[in-house]
Structure 1
Amino acid sequence: MTRDNYRDIELAQLRRLEFASLVEGTTLLFLLVIAVPLKHLYGWPTGVRFMGPVHGLAFFAYLWFTVQTVTGGGWRMCEIARVVICAFIPFGAFFNRTLLSRKMASIRNGKKS
């Protein structure tokens, strides 16, 4: 396998992680901002019954893509911790975009960050 192939694989993994991060963050916000208030303020638990499992799946997919991506190497422990911790914080997934964008730019430029 050539160096370009490895670079393309790394970029694809980072794009998948970025997408999974956005999906996970969005489902968490829907759950916290829409579904939970509807349940507690208006007695409508259907939103939580639907969004809870959707967010759970998105969360586990995000963790899976995180493990796949960081095992490729080139990640510092503080970056790994940041990516994982951001999954537990509302809007945290959106803060990951800067880190992931920086990593993708570094790979495109031929450097490891």
Structure 2
Amino acid sequence: MKHYLVTNIGRLRLIGLLEGISLLLLIGIAVPAKHIFGDPTLVKAIGPIHGVLFLLFVFNTISVGVEYNWKFMTTTWKVLLACLIPFGTFYIDKTILSKIDPANESGN
């Protein structure tokens, strides 16, 4: 777990995991509960948390893209698009982020 906190790519992976989970909780539990039971409590609780995680993911993606010299059209946009799609951050973590060696300064 420590390796997720000491590198920018590790932090991006951790934020992506948390953002993906928050999105699934929001659209899978909170929004249906709001519409079925008329209770917006979960949306009011999870919504802002997801919003902060979403923004952190976007800012960290751009930061890692600059640090690793990612070409926008080949890598950065894919990672950014992932946070808009349910399960997207999990897919990107497995296919792109987990394969990046934090010791390698050039990245993709």
In 2: Cα distance, 1:90 partner to 1:70 partner: 22
Paired residues for 1:1-113 under 5 Å: 12-77=7-72, 78-98=74-94, 99-104=96-101, 107=104, 112-113=107-108
Structure 1 gaps, min length 5: 1-10
So what's the TM-score if we normalise by structure 1?
0.81
Deviation at 1:76, TM superposition (A): 2.5
Q: What runs of 5+ residues in structure 2 fail to find an aligned partner?
A: 1-5
- Structure-2 change in CA distance of 1:90 and 1:112 (3 Å): closer
Could you report, residue by residue, the CA deviation over 1:85-110 in whole angstroms, capped at 9, with x for unpaired residues? 00100000101112011112783xx8
Q: Number of matched residues?
A: 102
Larger radius of gyration: 1
TM-score (ref. length: structure 2): 0.84
- Of Structure 1 and Structure 2, the greater helix share is in 1
Percentage of pairs with the same residue: 33
Instruction: From the superposition, tell whether residues 14 and 105 of structure 1 become closer, same or farther in structure 2 (CA, over 3 Å).
Output: closer
